[in-house]
Amino acid sequence: MAQTVPTLPPPVSDELMIEIGRLCCAWSFLEYEVERTIWGLLRIGIDVGQHITYKLDMRGRWELLAQIATEHLNPSYRNTLGKIKEKMGQLTADRNLYIHGLVVAKGPEFNIMSIVYRGKGAGKPVPIFAEKIAATRTAVQDAARKLAAFNDHKNYVHKLLMPGGTP
């Protein structure tokens, strides 16, 4: 029997939605710090850097960062970045499950599940809870803080462009 996709999403608690939103914000900050590292290594500003990184997903950004780091950083600094990168595969998978997964209700208790349709675990419903999303957010924030500290140490600074304003 073919499975059907529900036409309406199941009721999701405000707590769950808030945690998903917090994870999105944490991920955006991490993306910013990865771009800041790439642009710092290349010694370019946002005006040029955004044209290089804007279409890259997180995996693509880290691949680019690894290539650039090999050419521009000593082994100690590459090791520092490598420790952050080691966690990115699982963080990305978890983030995709919570943010891009199709939320469905399953079972007699109406458990909230998320399903992704590509990559590891594709098609398998996974229970989602606010606590699990919060743990992923915390790990993402930790990676972003470590990368921010690296960027600050290397003095990789650029000004954000605000809409309608100047840098």
Q: Please state, in angstroms and as integers, the Cα–Cα distance from residue 29 to each residue in 5, 24, 25, 140, following that order.
A: 33, 9, 6, 9
Query: 104-139, pLDDT tens digit by residue?
Result: 666 555 567 676 666 677 777 788 888 999 999 999
* 87 or 47, which is more confident: 87
> Helical H runs in the chain?
14-42, 46-53, 58-72, 75-85, 88-100, 130-153
Q: Say which residue, 26 or 128, is predicted with more confidence.
A: 26
Q: Note the pLDDT of residue 105.
A: 63
Q: What's the pTM?
A: 0.82
Task: Name the residue ranges covered by the structural domains of the chain.
Answer: 14-153
